[in-house]
Amino acid sequence: MSDSIPAGFEPFPVNKGFAVHVGPLYFKQTETAGILGFRVMPHHLNPVGNCHGGMMMTVMDMALGFNTRMAAGNESFPPSIQLAYDFLQPAELGDWLESDVTFTHTTRRMGFADGFLIGPRGPVMRCNGICKLPRDDDPRFGVAARQTPLPG
């Protein structure tokens, strides 16, 4: 199993809460998207030795959220409203998985995105979702009080 992290990825900047328990996670910013990635480790495995679906769902939930936030130009945390997942093939111990998200549409308070979680043998998961785009002054979702800023 390789421990290397692909070029351009840095440790995910949110180092508290649930992200700490599922990590380590890595993030890369491009001009048009944020890419979330991780190496499948023993604590990510299900009972048959593949990456647990809940881990892959968590990563794509986060990736759709911050890509929706970035594309909409919103500064607040974008909670998920609806997510749908299709598992395409298993991911194995040691695989590097990374998100590939496309922002598709926005309304005044909702953002729509879809994407894939991609491994070394191609897509392992397809996902689409809707995220709430709170007002930037809504204290329930603001980032001002956070010690670590959200990516994007």
pLDDT digits (tens, 9 = 90+) for 23-34: 899 999 888 888
CA dihedral 46, 47, 49, 54 (to 10 degrees): -10
Distance CA 46, CA 33 (A): 30
Model pTM score: 0.85
Three-class secondary structure assignment of 54-79: HHHHHHHHHHHHHHHHHHHCCCCCCC
Distance CA 123, CA 102 (A): 14
pLDDT digits (tens, 9 = 90+) for 77-113: 788 899 999 999 999 999 999 999 988 887 778 888 9
Determine the straight-line distance between the first and last CA of the chain, rounded to whole angstroms. Answer: 30
CATH class of 10-132: alpha beta
Domain ranges of the chain: 10-132
Confidence band, pLDDT 50/70/90 cuts, at residue 147: very low
